[in-house]
Structures are given as structure tokens and as C-alpha cells.
Structure 1
Amino acid sequence: MTPEPSMAHSAALERDAQQAHKDHKVAPGEIAIGVVIGRTSEYFDFFVFGIASVLVFPKVFFSFEPDQLTATLYSFAVFALAFVARPVGTVIFMAVDRKHGRSVKLTTALFLLGGSTAAISFLPSYASIGYASIWLLAGLRISQGLALAGAWDGMASLLALNAPRERRGWYAMIPQLGAPFGFMVASALFSFFLVNLSTEDFLDWGWRFPFYCAFTINVVALFARLSLVASDEFRALMEKRSLEPVPVFELLRRHALDVWIGAFVPLAAFALFHLVTIFPISWLTLYTDRPAGEFLIVQFSGAIVCAGAICASGLIADQIGRRNTLLLSAGLIAMFAMGSIIAPLIFGESAIGQTMYVTVGFMILGLAYGQTAGAVTARLGSRYRYTGAALTSDLAWMFGAGFAPLVVLFLASRYGLAMVGLYLLSGAAATLLALFLDKSEMRQM
């Protein structure tokens, strides 16, 4: 049977990459760079969509709705679709991985991710084609979710397996740096166009440029990651069944409880994730006069703080253990949440308070998020580490972050900003409960 052209081409790419790296030993530093580049490209795609869900889509795709709050809620409902699609994408792409190899899976996923994001830049508005524009937007958002699941390459696990035991916390935080880096690039691009273009030009064509950039960024990330996937070290781990894709349903038969508990361990961090990135932009846009371009610069600075806090989480985890670091960060999130309940108007009416909320929130997010990947993978044995880490992460994102902007904006618009704190407090409680149930396993971390 003749192989499909796309599969044959990807297999040829893998053979060429393997030949090019036949005598090259991959160092942990190279793995780290590949991981960060890959994660940055993925987060860039998602943050571009998230920011546009506030600043663009309510006016371009939901212009039939005169109430901007309702239009933004519709936009956030589309935003959530990708997180629902991610577990489905893991099932599909793990099957592709088993049948055709990781290079085929990774190439397909990153082209789908970059292509879906870039295609959004060409979508006609609601004023041009009506409800068809919304269906196309939703379809491309689902494609993003499927593709992000397929982009799971196992390099974070490879990095953890190659890490010295006394520095596992440090190595576990490296993949998480992709989140603040991706947000920095996305927020800087949007801020540039918001500041330098008129509102009419921005809504007509300016917003499309960040989406169009996504394809180029994903191609660069693809080549950086393929060079590592084709390395001897990566294939050696596959042979040891350390990073072998297994059927999702087999994983659930053996580790269903581990997957569910693992999904709730990082819930506090993931609940905070969009409440310092996407939600504040929506609230300020709807209820204050502060320019969005200016606030994106504030968030850019917050992302720098977040990157520093992620690095600090690695140092702290190596001193006190990953479980204690997660307990500490969950406690800080709970305190931050209670402060938001007690003094919600600080964020709502004061520019200084808004800046403090974002800066402190990003700092706590970095401390919490920095060790979530290690917490997920540490629960599973070597055979189920690769698939289990992917599925657990998908579920954590879906429950913790996927619906956060939609739910919190709806509740806060009706009952006040104290709802932000209550939502965060529920996430912190879920994390603390999961850590309590998981304490016998995580003492080994």
C-alpha cells in the first residue's frame, strides 16, 4: 500500500533529521532550549486568541449584539472550546504517534496549530458573511485545541529524566517558561498596534497581524523540536518504554484515579492563569477608561516577574521539595484570593491597584505554575508517563483555566469583583485537597 504523501514526506523529514544528528549527543541545555521554544510558540498562539477574545471578537464577530458584556461572554464561550477539544486531541494524536511516529505527529500538530491560528487572520467579519464567520471562528478554535494536544512531544519528560536528582525542581520549571514568554510576545504585538493605529484600522486589519505571525513562529518551533525528537537520546528513552505512547483508555484503566488527582493538583495555578492575563483586560475594557494598549504593557512587565518567579520556584523546590512548594503556592493563592474578596474595588477603580493586582498575581502564578508539570508527571510510572502527563494536563487546563474568563466575568458583572476571589479560593481548595489525597505519592518528589 502506498503511503500518503504527507506521511511519506514527514517520514523523510524524520530520516533526514536522524541522519543529521546521528553523531550528535544532545545536552540537557539543548533539550531545555527546545522545550522553551516549543512551549513559547504554543502559548503565543493561545494568548493571541485570548487577547483578541476581548479586544477584537466582540466587535468583529459578535457585532450583532449591542451589549458589549454579552458579546464578550459569547467570545469567551468560543475561547473555551479549545480546552474542551484538548482531551479529544490527545486520544487522536496518541494514535497517530503509535502508528506513524512522533515526528509525523509533531509535524501535523504544529502545522495544524499554526495554520489554524494564521487562518483566523483571514476570516471575514460578521458584517460580511453573518453567522458563518462565527462558525468558522469556532471551528478554527477547536482545531487549535486538537493541535495543542498533538504538540505534546515528551521533551519535558525527557528533560526531567535527564535531570540530576538534586536539581529536579529546577529542570521541572524550565518548560513552564514558555507561558510568560508567549504572553510577552502576544501582548507586545497587540499593544504596538493598539497604540499606533486608530480604532478603525485596528479592527479592520491591525488585529490580524499577530495571528498571521503564528505560522512562522510554529515553523521555527517545529524545526527546533524535530532536531531533538530525532536524537539518539530520545529514541533510547523510547526503547526503554520511558516515553512510549499508550492508548488513552489503557491508561485510564490502570491510572484513572492518578489522572484525576493529578488534574486537580495544579488547579489553583491554572485558575489564576487567565485571571491575571485575559480576565483583567476584559474588565478594564468594559468597566474602566484605561487604554488597553497601556494595560498590556503593564501585563508585559508582570510576565517578566512571572518568569523570574518560575525560576525561583525551581530553586525553592530543590530546597524544600516539590510538594511543599505546591502547598506554599496554593496557600499564597488562597491569601491572594481572600484579599481580592475583602478589597475588590482596589482592582476595579484604581490604576495603581490594578497594576499591583497584576504584578502580585503574576508573581504568585510563577511560583505556583513553575512546578505543576513535575507534579503531573511524577505520579505515573515510566510506561504511562508520556500519555498520562498529556491527558492530565489537558484535564487540568479544561477544569482550571478553560472556562475561567467566561465564568468569572459573568459572576463579577452580576455580583461584583469579589467573585474573582471566590473563584480563586475554590481553585486553591481543590489543589490543597488533591495534595492531601496525594501525599503518600508526592513525598517521593
Structure 2
Amino acid sequence: MSDMTAHKAHVATIDEVVTTVIMARVTDFFGFFVYAIASALVFPTVFFPMLSPTAGLMASFAVFSLAFLARPVSSLMARRLQYVIGRPAKVAAALMILGTATVAIGLLPSYERIGWLAPTLLIALRILQGIGLGGSWDGLTLQLQDAAPEGRKGAYAIIPQLGGPIGFAVASALFFVLTGFLTEEEFLQWGWRFAFFAAMALNVVSLFARIRLLSTDFGADQSRLQSAPLRPLIRDQWREILLSAFVPLASYALLHVVTVFPLGYVTLFGSEPISSILLTQMLGAGCAIVTVIISGSLADRYNRRTVMFISTLLIILLCLALPFLQDAPRIFILFGFVVLGLAYGQAGAIVPKRFREEYRYSGSALSTNLSWIIGAAFAPLVALTLAVNFGVTAVALYLLSGAAATLIALRLLNRREAR
């Protein structure tokens, strides 16, 4: 009994919090990008060989989007579960579902062995991954914002966002090694599966670290981390939910346009080997880490909306580099990652403050899920479809539409706060 009391009384230092949050987010995004990269390099051949290379890649990207569609449903189910078993137990259950689905994908037989059952099981497991992702919303970003000292809010806001570029760097490095040291036949038969097993192992480490942090006090107001009733949330905060879904839209779309889409496009139309593209993306992810950190300094010096506005203008400029993707992909990829870091660095932190405190936890989860669906879920599929039928100029217009949506949302946000 005394041990339990001592555990509950433990107050984490801010260094422990930062370390745990980065670890949790890196492992989350590592698993996320392992699937994303495999959807471009592996699944069209392993699970959709009955289709043409282009149709197989489109089918793979369509399955990729299913996890995002499952997230809001899972998030609503997890709300009820949290009332019964508490937030740490809910997150643990969700991560177990996610980890089980991930390792099961790594064990799936190919289409050549079990026919249509293979892509059917892939679809089911991808939906299961989405259920795990939706239920694992833990509110750690909100806790960090509460714990951040005045004048350092922007710097603390980038801590969870670092998980994106770091997780992608690790995932792309692993696939770079697998594709570089294995023959194409070895990679497609069994080599790619190791990436999913590695994701499962890191998911277990993340689970224990995250549960410990969720059960620890570090000065955050726990009343802000309670799920709000759904009907009052939508009735009172529907404007904030929609506005918060569109503010980070461009950054979420860009995330997939510079990570997943180039791998698929170069596989079909490019002349460079995939290992070279993966190496370029690893370097780009390193640039994104730097610009994510820079976004925190800029946000503290000016404000988050200014950083989002500038980064969105840079996304518009980036659209001019898209035509280089086929013949000189490094130009678009490296510039894209630089812009991504600035845009993505404050994307998660700009949402929660839009909600009243009693709705902040649930409102942030709902608007974030909507933003991922609208901006990111179908981005690889839409971009590939446009590139195949109309060329990469159409992809630039698609990305431009996301930037326009973000600029309009920022303008509306300024007008609402001015009133």
C-alpha cells in the first residue's frame, strides 16, 4: 500500500516529462511511417499483384487512408471507456490494439499464398490500427502547455511535434538499410517484415513510459484532461472545432506529400533508385528537425499564428518546386522538409487554446482527427491520382488548395479574436 501511495505522490521533473513525450511521439510516428513507407514500396507488389503497378499503388494508398477514417469512431468509443477505466488504462488498451495489429501486418501471407484473403486481412488490420491510434489520445500536449513557463510556450509546443520528423528519419533509415543490403526478392519476401516487428517492440517501450507519465503529476491541471459530454461539446464549440480542423490543414497535407507521395511517384515514374530517395528523405527529416525547433523560437518571439502564416506562404512557394520531382527530386524533397518543420512545429499547439477549458481535451481530439482526415488521410492517393492523370502541376494545385484553406482559417481566427 505504501508503495502505491509513493508512486502516486511522485512528481515528475520537467526533464522527465520532455524525455517521455519525445519517446512516446517518436515511437508512434515510427510505426506510422513504417506502414506509410511499406504502402508505397511493398504492399502494391505483395498484396495487389493482380493489378497494374499504378492501380496497385492506388489501392495500397486507399487502404492507407482507412486508419484515419477509423480514428474519430475510435475516439468516441474511447471516451466512454475512459469514464469506466480511466485515462491510463484506456491509453494502454489502445496501444495494445495498435501494437497487435502492427505485428499482425508483419506476419501476413502474401496474395500469392492466400489470394484475396491477404488484401482483405490487410484492410481489417489497417482499420484496427486506426482504432488503436484514435483511442491512444492522451492529452500530453495539453499537459506540456500547462507546465510550460511563460515566454517559453512555443518552445515547449514543439516537443511532441519533434516525433514526426524523428520518427520518419528512423523509419526511412531502416528501409534504406533493408533495401540496400537485401536483394529485391529478399526484401519483398521477408525483409520488410522486420520493420513492423521493430515498430511493435518500440510500441511496448512507449507504452510503459507513457503510462508512467499519465499516472504522474507534474503540475498540470488535471481537470482540463477530462472528456466533455459530446452533445454540449458540439453544440457550444462547433465553430471552434471546424476552425481548429482547418488551421493546421496545410501542414498535415504537406506531411504526406513530402514523405509518402514521392516514394510512390518515383517508383512509377522516376529514374533514381529508391535507396537514393530514402537517403534524401532522411536528410530532409534532419532539416525538418532543425526547422521545428526554429518554429518554437519564432513562436515565442512573435506568436504561433505568425509562424503558421509564414510557413503557409512558403508552402505556396514550394508548389513551384513540384515539377522537379521527376527529374530532380532532391530539390522538392529537401525544400519540402524545411517548410514542413516550420509549418508542423506549431500545428498541434495552435488548436487547444481555441476551446473553453472544460472542452479543451475533447475538442482538441475531435478537431485534430477531423484535420487529419480532411488534410492528410487521402493526400497520397489524391496526389498520385492527379499526377497520373494530369501531371505534377495538378498536385501543386492540390497542395495550394490546402494552403488556401489554412490562410482562410487563420484570417477567420484573427477576426473572431478581434471581436
Q: Same fold (TM over 0.5)?
A: yes
Task: Kindly indicate whether the alpha-carbon contact (under 8 Å) linking 2:319 and 2:397 is maintained by their aligned counterparts in 1.
Answer: yes
Instruction: Return the letter of the residue paired with 1:262.
Output: S
Query: Distance in 1 between the 2:89 and 2:339 partners?
Result: 37
Equivalent residues in 2 for 1:197-208, closer than 5 Å: 197-208=182-193
Q: Of 169, 172, 178, which residue of structure 2 is paired with 1:184?
A: 169
Query: Distance in 1 between the 2:3 and 2:54 partners?
Result: 50
TM value normalised by structure 2: 0.96
Instruction: Return the letter of the residue paired with 2:63.
Output: V
Task: Kindly indicate whether the alpha-carbon contact (under 8 Å) linking 2:146 and 2:221 is maintained by their aligned counterparts in 1.
Answer: no
Task: Give the match's secondary structure for 1:375.
Answer: coil
| Percent identity (aligned) | 43
Give the aligned partner of residue 424 of structure 1. Answer: 399
Task: Give the match's secondary structure for 1:231.
Answer: coil
Query: Distance in 2 between the 1:17 and 1:263 partners?
Result: 43
Bigger Cα displacement from structure 2, 169-178 vs 32-41: 32-41
Equivalent residues in 2 for 1:29-428, closer than 5 Å: 29-65=15-51, 67-233=52-218, 237-238=221-222, 241-340=223-322, 344=323, 346-350=324-328, 354-428=329-403
Query: Distance in 2 between the 1:77 and 1:247 partners?
Result: 33
Q: State the Cα deviation string for residues 66-109 of structure 1 (Å, max 9, x = none).
A: x2011000000000001111111110112111211011111101
What displacement does 1:225 show? 1.0
Instruction: Return the letter of the residue paired with 1:266.
Output: P
Instruction: Return the letter of the residue paired with 1:62.
Output: F
What displacement does 1:230 show? 0.8
Query: Distance in 2 between the 1:378 and 1:442 partners?
Result: 12
TM value normalised by structure 1: 0.91
What residue ranges of structure 2 are gaps of 5+ in the alignment?
Answer: none
Q: State the Cα deviation string for residues 270-316 of structure 1 (Å, max 9, x = none).
A: 11110100000111111123111221111011101101100000000
Task: Kindly indicate whether the alpha-carbon contact (under 8 Å) linking 1:119 and 1:212 is maintained by their aligned counterparts in 2.
Answer: no
What displacement does 1:233 show? 3.6
Structure 1 stretches of at least 4 aligned residues deviating more than 4 Å after TM superposition: 15-20, 440-444
What displacement does 1:260 show? 0.7
Instruction: Return the letter of the residue paired with 1:53.
Output: S
Instruction: Return the letter of the residue paired with 2:41.
Output: L
Task: Give the match's secondary structure for 2:226.
Answer: coil
Query: Distance in 2 between the 1:413 and 1:18 partners?
Result: 59
Q: State the Cα deviation string for residues 203-238 of structure 1 (Å, max 9, x = none).
A: 11001000111221011101111111111347x622
What displacement does 1:320 show? 1.0
What displacement does 1:123 show? 0.5
Q: State the Cα deviation string for residues 2-53 of structure 1 (Å, max 9, x = none).
A: xxxxxxxxxxxxx999645334321222222221111111111111111111
Task: Kindly indicate whether the alpha-carbon contact (under 8 Å) linking 2:71 and 2:130 is maintained by their aligned counterparts in 1.
Answer: yes
Instruction: Return the letter of the residue paired with 2:343.
Output: A
Give the aligned partner of residue 9 of structure 1. Answer: none
Query: Distance in 1 between the 2:418 and 2:292 partners?
Result: 21
Task: Kindly indicate whether the alpha-carbon contact (under 8 Å) linking 1:334 and 1:428 is maintained by their aligned counterparts in 2.
Answer: yes
Query: Distance in 2 between the 1:46 and 1:359 partners?
Result: 21
Query: Distance in 2 between the 1:132 and 1:204 partners?
Result: 17
What displacement does 1:165 show? 2.3
Query: Distance in 1 between the 2:393 and 2:182 partners?
Result: 35
The 1:243–1:18 alpha-carbon spacing in structure 2 relative to 1, beyond 3 Å, is farther
Instruction: Return the letter of the residue paired with 1:220.
Output: V
The 1:16–1:158 alpha-carbon spacing in structure 2 relative to 1, beyond 3 Å, is farther
Query: Distance in 1 between the 2:347 and 2:4 partners?
Result: 32
Task: Give the match's secondary structure for 2:224.
Answer: coil
What residue ranges of structure 1 are gaps of 5+ in the alignment?
Answer: 1-14
